[in-house]
Each structure stands twice: as structure tokens, then as C-alpha cells.
């Protein structure tokens, strides 16, 4: 085990998630802040063109980290990589886009040894060959952004907040997507989240003109007692953001997605688990008596669990474990 791991992060300008000005700054905080905070890491960022000559890294770095495994977010070629003894690891985006973005070709051309990302290993291997290594790391929760939140007793209690992408519930749209865009539509990945918007007591906030309607997302979310974290196949950063904001968080848990349990959440202890069969019942149970002290207790427990165990610094520790596995086992 090396005392300090030297990381070279290679990316292109098109990967806007590393810009502090981009609308979604979750990965910016993980890569540009959390990596640098860890004393075991020495991280340098290389903004590249279409090709990157890796010979400049020789004897200076232990590992190459790609923040994504698709073009144009990373160079099309890592030149002279075969002459280096520096392993490559990568964060991965949605694995169901593997064929669309030629991710398997990139896996081979960029000699990627290991992947990490916000999805379960089982879901990852539905699309990638079983022999490819993967580690579940849900990064992006910057604890400092959630220090100041509104007291639970002062929040909106007659509505439940729903945020994020939703699908088109119209039958024509669903039929068209089933034919033209099977298993890739927003309805497919956020069915329950979409259904929630049909309820009169659910407030929805999405995006407008490519930007979030509410720039100060933590403050906005923490203005509600209850909020929804629903995703059909895997956990998203919303699971962490909403709990960190001190909300009573209604999390989708089903046979397709039990990530909430993998993250350490427990039904009626630090979150409320919902599915397509019981979500209305669970919402109405809360709304019938939103001032019951048990809801605040559950919300508080969820906030403590997330801030203590699921923050960016913990995610970096998981990444270090992955890197050490790669460095200690060259045959991976």
C-alpha cells in the first residue's frame, strides 16, 4: 500500500460536469473538492483535446482516472498507453447506453481496469460482460451545502415535493417510446416518479431552459416536510440530497431497485419505502397527520445517516479502496 496515491484525471471540455458553473455540480464537488481534501491522494487534472499523450505521466502518477467512459467527454485516444504501467479506472454513466456510446470499444481501447458509479453491480452487469470489474459508489453529496436547513416544524406540510426528470404519461407517447425507444425512455426509468405527479397533493419542480428552476436546491427542498426519491432501477443522488435536507424521504424500493437498503436506509426508521402498489397509501398516512412527531424523527435519522455515512468524503474512501485493489492486483 502506497502512502500517497497520485491520480491523473483526464477529461475534455465537453464534460461540463467538472465546471462549477454547470447546472448539475454534484460531480464537480466530488472530483474537484472531495478528492483534493483527502490527504492520501495527490490529484492533478488534465484538460485534453481529442488525443492525450500519456508519456507525460510516466513515473509521476499511479493511476489514470476517467470521469466518464464515453466520447466526447474523454479523449478518443490515450497515446502510448501500452508503454506505461499505469492502470486506468473510470466512473461510468448509465450502462444501458453502452451500445449507443460504444462504451465497450472504449473499454478495450482505453484499457480500463475497473469502473465505479451510482448503480448496483447486478444492474451494471446486465449490460457489461461479467468479467469486467465494478464497484458501487454513489458520489456527489457535499455535506457543507446542507448545514443550514429550515426547521421541520416550519416546513410545508400539506404537500409532498417531487423533483427531477419525469416521463410522458400519455398513452400515445408511451406506445411510441415502447416501439422507437424501448427501455430508454424517461417513463421507463422514472415510472413511479411520473405517476406521483398525477396526485393533487404532490408539488413538482423540474427544469426550464436547461436549468433547474430553483438554483438553491438544498434550501428549496428543505422547505418541505416530505419529498420523493423514486427511480425504477437504481439509486440516484436525489436519495442523498433529500435526506440530507432533513426531509421525510419517500424512497422507491422494489424487486428492481433495492439500493435504498444497500445504502443503509430502513423503512420507518430513516426513510419511508414506497412502490407502485402502496405509494398513495404511504403519502396519505403522512398527510393525514403531518405534525406527528414520528415523521420528524424519521427525517432526522435519515439526515444523520446520510451526512455521516453517504457524503463525498466517504465516497472518496470507497474509491481509494478500489484503487488499492487495482494497484495491489496488476492482473485485474
pLDDT of residue 181: 56
In 10 A of CB 297, how many CB atoms? Answer: 15
**Distance from C-alpha of 197 to C-alpha of 187, rounded to nearest angstrom:** 12
Q: CATH number of the domain that 19 lies in?
A: 3.40.50
The reply to whether 253 and 239 lie within a common domain is: yes
Q: CATH number of the domain that 161 lies in?
A: 3.40.50.2000
Q: How many separate domains does the chain show?
A: 2
The reply to whether 86 and 55 lie within a common domain is: yes
The reply to whether 138 and 150 lie within a common domain is: no
C-alpha cell at 101: 456510446
The reply to whether 17 and 153 lie within a common domain is: no
Beta carbons of 63 and 5 less than 8 angstroms apart: yes
| Full pLDDT tens readout for the chain, 332 residues | 678 999 999 999 999 999 988 878 899 999 999 999 999 999 999 999 999 999 999 999 999 999 999 999 999 999 999 999 899 999 998 887 778 878 899 999 999 999 999 888 888 998 999 999 999 999 989 999 999 899 999 999 999 999 987 655 555 544 544 555 555 566 577 899 999 999 999 999 764 444 554 458 899 999 999 999 999 888 889 999 999 999 999 999 999 888 899 899 999 999 999 999 999 999 999 999 999 999 999 999 999 999 999 999 999 999 999 999 999 998 88
Q: What angle do CA 312, 317, 320 make, to 5 degrees?
A: 125
**Distance from C-alpha of 248 to C-alpha of 265, rounded to nearest angstrom:** 12
The reply to whether 156 and 282 lie within a common domain is: yes
The reply to whether 135 and 101 lie within a common domain is: yes
pLDDT of residue 25: 86
**Distance from C-alpha of 262 to C-alpha of 259, rounded to nearest angstrom:** 5
The reply to whether 130 and 71 lie within a common domain is: yes
Beta carbons of 5 and 40 less than 8 angstroms apart: yes
- The full 3-state SS of the chain, as one line of letters, equals CCCCEEEEEEEECCCHHHCCCCCCCHHHHHHHHHHHHCCCEEEEEEEECCEEEHHHHCCCCCEEEECCCCCCCCCCEEECHHHCCCCEEEECCCHHHCCCCCHHHHHHHCCEEEEEECCCHHHHCCCCCCCCEEEECCCCCCHHHHCCCCCHHHCEEEEEEEECCCCCCCHHHHHHHHHHCCCCCHHHHCHHHHHHCCCCCEEEECEECCEECCCCHHHHHCCEEEEEECCCCCCCHHHHHHHHCCCEEEEECCCCCCHHHHCCCCECCCEEEECCCCHHHHHHHHHCCCCCHHHHHHHHHHHHHHHHHCCHHHHHHHHHHHHHHHHHCCCC
Residue 323 structural domain: 5-142+311-328
Beta carbons of 242 and 306 less than 8 angstroms apart: no
- Angle of the 237-244 helix axis to the 293-309 helix axis, nearest 10: 120
The reply to whether 187 and 136 lie within a common domain is: no
The reply to whether 137 and 153 lie within a common domain is: no
The reply to whether 218 and 253 lie within a common domain is: yes
Q: How far is CA 244 from the centre of its chain?
A: 14
The reply to whether 241 and 203 lie within a common domain is: yes
pLDDT of residue 170: 55
The reply to whether 233 and 175 lie within a common domain is: yes
| Residue of 109, 29, 121 lying closest to 67 (CA atoms) | 29
pLDDT of residue 168: 57
Amino acid at each position: 500500500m502506497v502512502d500517497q496515491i497520485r491520480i491523473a484525471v483526464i477529461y475534455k471540455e465537453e464534460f461540463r460536469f467538472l465546471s462549477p458553473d454547470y447546472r448539475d455540480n454534484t460531480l464537480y464537488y466530488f472530483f474537484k473538492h472531495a478528492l483534493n481534501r483527502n490527504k492520501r491522494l495527490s490529484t492533478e487534472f488534465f484538460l485534453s483535446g481529442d488525443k492525450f499523450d500519456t508519456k507525460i505521466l510516466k513515473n509521476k502518477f499511479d493511476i489514470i482516472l476517467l470521469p466518464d467512459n464515453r466520447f466526447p467527454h474523454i479523449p478518443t485516444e490515450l497515446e502510448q498507453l501500452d508503454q506505461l504501467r499505469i492502470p486506468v479506472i473510470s466512473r461510468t454513466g448509465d450502462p444501458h447506453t453502452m451500445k449507443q456510446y460504444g462504451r465497450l470499444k472504449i473499454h478495450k481501447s482505453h484499457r480500463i481496469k475497473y469502473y465505479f458509479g451510482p448503480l448496483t453491480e447486478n444492474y451494471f452487469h446486465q449490460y457489461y460482460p461479467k468479467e469486467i470489474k465494478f464497484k458501487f459508489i454513489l458520489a456527489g453529496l457535499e455535506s457543507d451545502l446542507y448545514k443550514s436547513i429550515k426547521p421541520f416544524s416550519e416546513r410545508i406540510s400539506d404537500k409532498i415535493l417531487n423533483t427531477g426528470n419525469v416521463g410522458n404519461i400519455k398513452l400515445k407517447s408511451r406506445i411510441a417510446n415502447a416501439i422507437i425507444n424501448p427501455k430508454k425512455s424517461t417513463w421507463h426509468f422514472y415510472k413511479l416518479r411520473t405517476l406521483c405527479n398525477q396526485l393533487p397533493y404532490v408539488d413538482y419542480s423540474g427544469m426550464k431552459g436547461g436549468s433547474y428552476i430553483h438554483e438553491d436546491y438544498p434550501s428549496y427542498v428543505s422547505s418541505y416536510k416530505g419529498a420523493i426519491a423514486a427511480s425504477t432501477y437504481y439509486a440516484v443522488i436525489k436519495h442523498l440530497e433529500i435526506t440530507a435536507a432533513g426531509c421525510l424521504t419517500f424512497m422507491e424500493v422494489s424487486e428492481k431497485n433495492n439500493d435504498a437498503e444497500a445504502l443503509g436506509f430502513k423503512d420507518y426508521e430513516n426513510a419511508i419505502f414506497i412502490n407502485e402498489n402502496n405509494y398513495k397509501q404511504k403519502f396519505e398516512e403522512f398527510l393525514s397527520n403531518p405534525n406527528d412527531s414520528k415523521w420528524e424523527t424519521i427525517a432526522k435519522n435519515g439526515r444523520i445517516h446520510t451526512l455521516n455515512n453517504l457524503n463525498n468524503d466517504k465516497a472518496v474512501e470507497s474509491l481509494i479502496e478500489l484503487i488499492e485493489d487495482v494497484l495491489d492486483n496488476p492482473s485485474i
